[in-house]
Amino acid sequence: MTYNINYTVDINVGADLNGDGTPDFAFSDGTLATNLHLFIGQYPNLLKAMNEWEKVANIDFHYDANPGQNYAGWTIMLGKLPLGYFGSTEANDSTYSGGVVVIDETQTGVTSLAYGVGFKTLMHELGHTFGDSNYFGENHPTGPNTQTIMSTTVTPPYTLTPSILDIEAAQALFGAAVHNTGNTTYTMNGETIAGGSDSWHAGAGETIVTVWDSGGKDTISLASYSGSGGGLIDLREGLDGTVERYSKIGNSWLYIAYDAAIENAIGSMGDDSITGNDLANDLRGDKGLDNIKGGEGNDTLGGGEILWYPFTVLSAHDRLWAN
C-alpha cells in the first residue's frame, strides 16, 4: 500500500476560519485546528516515523514536498487542537486515499517529535491513515504504549517503534515487510539499541523498541553494557496474554514481535537472567551469577569460564535450567 504524504498547505487546508490570520481546518466533528503551519522543522522526525511503519509491514509512504493545489494524498500539519488532543486525523472519504493530520505542537512533550509522547503521537496518527475501521480506527485499542501505540495513553513509557499489537495488526492488513533477513545481532548498551540497519536512542528517558526480524540466525547481546548490575534477556515473542516479555539492561528495553524469531543470547558482565524460546538456542551468560533457562529446543547453555560437562561453557556460579 502506498500513502502519499505532503506537508504543504493544499486546497483542503488553509482558510482562516477564526480570523486570527493563520490557516485553520475544521474537522467534521466540529473540532477546529488552528494556527496551522508547515512541518519543515520536524521533517526528519516525520520520515523516521514513516520508516518505523515501513520496516514492519508492506506500507510505502511517498513524500512530496511540492504537490500543488490538486494534490491527492495526506496533508500533515503542525498546529493547535482543542480539548487536550495531541493529534487528530480525518480522511477525505471512505477510501482513505487522502485527508488531514494535525499534530498539536503546544502540548507538553510534543515540542520535540524525535522521541517521547511527541514521536508516539506522530506514529499513532500515521496509523489512523491506514483505513482500517477496527484496530486503526476511532475505536482505539487499550493498553500501555509498550503493547500498542494506537491506544490513547499519553503517559510513559513511550516507544520508538510500533508495538507488538500494532505490528500484528499492520501485518494482518498489509502483509509483513522483509526486514533484517541476515544474521543480525541486536546490541543493547543501556542507552542505544542497534541491529542490522536499525539504531534507536531515545535522547531522553528510556529507549524502548519492538523488533521485527524476518530471517537469519539472530542474537540479542548485552556484552557492550559497561554499567553496573546485570540484565534480562527473553527470546520469547509477543505477549503471554497481557503479560509482557522483554529484554532489558540499563535504560534500554527490547520486545520481540510475533513471528520474529531470535535464536541466541549473550549476557553482560553482571548477573543476568536469560530465557530461551522453542527454537534451538545458544544462550551465553558471560561473567556474573547468571540464571539461564532453555526452552523446548535443542539448546546450548553457557556461563563464564569453567568447563563443566554436558554444557558448553559454564561458570561455577551459574544456574542452568533446561526443559
Residues recognised as catalytic? 125
- Residue 296 backbone phi and psi in degrees, to 5: -80, -15
| Amino acid identity for residue 301 in this structure | L
What CA–CA distance (Å, rounded) separates 205 from 191?
Answer: 9
Beta bridge partners of 91: 99
- The secondary structure of 230-270 as a DSSP string is --EEE---SEETTEE--EEETTEEEEE-TT----EEE--SS
Beta bridge partners of 319: 291
- Helix count (H) and strand count (E) of the chain? 3, 25
**Residue 310 CB burial class (10 angstroms; 0-12, 13-18, ≥19):** exposed
What CA–CA distance (Å, rounded) separates 319 from 37?
Answer: 59
CB of 262 closer than 8 Å to CB of 271: no
- Residue 115 backbone phi and psi in degrees, to 5: -165, 180
CB of 302 closer than 8 Å to CB of 313: yes
Q: Which three cell numbers stand for residue 81?
A: 487542537
